[in-house]
Chains A and B, each alone.
Chain A
Amino acid sequence: MKKTGSQIIVECLKKEGVDLIFNYPGGAVLPLFDELQGAPFKQVLVRHEQAAVHAADGYARATGKVGVVIVTSGPGATNTVTGIATAFMDSIPIVIMTGQVPTLLIGNDAFQEADIIGITRPCTKHNYLVKDIKDLARILKEAFYVARSGRPGPVLIDLPKDTLINSTEFKYPEKIFIRGYQPTYEGHLGQIQRAVKLMMKSKKPILYVGGGIISSNASKELALFAERLGIPVTMTLMGLGGFPGNHPLSLGMLGMHGTYWANMAVMESDLLIAIGSRFDDRVTGKIEAFAPQAKIIHMDIDPTSISKNVRVDLPIVGDCKRILSKILSFLEVEDCTSYRSALDKWHHQIEKFKVIHNMNYEQKEIIKPQYIIKKIFELTKGDAIISTEVGQNQMWTAQYFPFLKPRTFLTSGGLGTMGFGLPAAMGAQAAFPEKLVIDISGDGSFQMNSQELATLVQYQMPVKVVILNNGYLGMVRQWQEFFYGKRYASSCLEGTSPDFVKLAEAYGAVGLRANKPEEVVPTLKKAFSTPEPVIIDFVVDPEENVYPMVPAGEPLNQMRLV
């Protein structure tokens, strides 16, 4: 049967099981929007295309499914770039469809034309310009497959207007074969056996796990493995939630703002087992001094992650979940018992690190941001989806909210995108209307996508935005305090931000404010029981810093503790 390009897209999206689309219309993509009316997908009209991608990203992180975005050509397309780069750095599966000027006008500087394929080539896993409508169905199928398989990532499809309008015979491609793309899922058996041997020989092992645990849904296998051998687990920012933060074996986060004991344990370890993590500079600090005594085993689905920054002794390419299952099958019960008890000394050593710096802070007359985050955890018992912006708000959340389950922490790890949290929370709330979704924000970051309050109100998405308002771009100020002689160039917002309570009300949301420590819990309780979207303006200590801190380029054991 003949169908128009727009009809083909709708059919293909149905086949992919899409249930939600974040979109923003415009001239070039109108034929598709016309067809989407009445299609069986929930559609959310955002207020800026960047937010559409972050929302689809939040949806994908929270559900594990592919997020979908449809926007128009030119500025609609270029506005998506930050969102795409964010998803690319964090390996989040999204399919972005952009309108494009008609094929004949491409390259003519037509109205609202941008070479979005060229622009997004370095920040997508792959991208497609549909030049022939006959390729449309295959390209859509490939795009979803590429986005979610292997190491996931964003895929963009550029749709010239004529391909949306013209018709062709529609046959859904049931199979795909991409000869240049065959991800490795099964780890090499010999390597796995060698890894097990290395593990059994180690006396001070540590598991260093990242976002790969979450994207491969390997949390259960990881917990079994860690428990069976009694190996302590430290997580990257992206790995938080991949292992329960309140587990006795959890050391919390490592790296620049990691816990003292996690960083010291890495420096002292004799075997570092990296799983789905990529030795980012914020994790390793001075690379030559990272885990100096350790042999390194690295499991990752992406061969380019291996030996990129740090020479690895034993690489295993494959899906973390499958590799861990294989490892579990090789572990003999008796060996595990004796191995575990031999680690007692190692655990004692780590306990001693905890005495030196135990993440304490003093709550006096001004609200401490850490206190708010601790209270959010206590009130929710961890049963909430938390997004953050970027900066101090993000680091305090990572430090003081022990995430219990995977896919409950949405944060821009690799790119560090301010303005991510609110739309990401929106995406998660759209996926789980009944869940409590909280964006932990700063007064700076919040203003980078605050227009999305309108979207929250329009679709009655009851996201709670907690603004840790310190009147500064706090992390910038902290760096300026430490490294630039307290010269606060362009980082002070005090007295320049809008009244966030009134702003919330102007959009039709609820605005709350708290100035004193004793108001924190009642205000949070009130917000959590309000069925509307809520903004809470917490006026916090303006010059509180994030500790510990490893200054950029220093070894992990060179931490500033106060």
Chain B
Amino acid sequence: MRHVITLLVENEFGVLTRVAGLFSGRGFNIESLCVAETLDPTVSTMTIVTRGDDQILEQVLKQLNKLISVIKVVDLIEKDFVEREMVLAKVSATPETREEILRVVDIFRGKVIDVGAKTYTIEVTGDEKKINALLALLKPLGIKELVRTGRVAMMRGSKITTEHES
């Protein structure tokens, strides 16, 4: 089962390795990982997307909680949440495909952020489904390179994930 986990961690060196080590030590793959500072500069958020059966995941969550540099662990899959990812894609643009690419990008509310002699570089943000749908449409047109940020996520409504004791 797919899980989206939000971690609040101390913003200091070595924390990422501690977290990653818990996954790698159990032969778990991290599907995507995103880390950055929060409003409080001493705290960072990590958003981790991973898959695993419930018992193993329960163990991973407890182990993450046990890390001294980890302040809070939330498995968003148990909550109502929104998630987004940004992709940059370099698509080959020939006189025949240019129009089609622009149309697709427009429908997905993306942007062309760089134009080369034979390529468009486009930027799109969305959830997993939207990104996959877009990529499926662009693929036949020729994606030369693809970079994804990994997922970021947040609970819906007025609930705040980043609240913690300080």
Contact = CB atoms under 8 A, between A and B. Distances in A.
Interface of A: 117-118, 121-122, 125-126, 129, 131, 146, 178-181, 302-304, 307-308
B95 to A, nearest CB: 51
B77 interface: no
Interface stretch (B58-66, B119-127, B130-138, B154-162): B58-66
B63 A304 contact: yes
Interface in B45-65: 55, 58-59, 62-63, 65
Given A125-B68, A307-B55, A307-B59, 20 more contacts: A117-B14, A121-B14, A121-B17, A122-B25, A126-B69, A129-B13, A131-B13, A146-B68, A179-B71, A179-B164, A179-B165, A180-B9, A180-B69, A180-B71, A181-B68, A303-B65, A303-B66, A304-B59, A304-B63, A308-B59
Contact of A304 (B13, B14, B66): B66
B67 interface: yes
B18 interface: yes
Given A179-B71, A303-B65, A118 B17 contact: yes
Interface of B: 9-10, 13-14, 17-18, 21, 25, 55, 58-59, 62-63, 65-71, 164-166
Contacts of A125: 68
Nearest to A178: B68
12 contacts: A117-B14, A121-B21, A122-B21, A126-B68, A131-B13, A179-B71, A179-B166, A180-B69, A181-B68, A302-B66, A304-B62, A307-B59
Contacts of B59: 304, 307-308
Q: Which of B17, B68, B70 has the most CB of A within 10 A?
A: B68
A118 B14 CA distance: 9
A304 B67 CA distance: 11
A180 B25 contact: no
A126 B12 CA distance: 14
A129 B14 contact: yes
Contacts of B166: 179
Contacts of A308: 59
Nearest to B24: A122
Nearest to B164: A179
A307 B68 contact: no
A129 B13 CA distance: 10
A180 B14 contact: no
A129 B14 CA distance: 10
B61 to A, nearest CB: 9
A179 B67 CA distance: 11
Contacts of A121: 14, 17-18, 21
A125 B66 CA distance: 9
Contact of A307 (B10, B58, B67, B69): B58
A307 B17 CA distance: 26
A545 to B, nearest CB: 35
Contacts of A303: 62, 65-66
Nearest to B42: A179
B62 A180 contact: no
A85 to B, nearest CB: 13
A118 B164 CA distance: 28
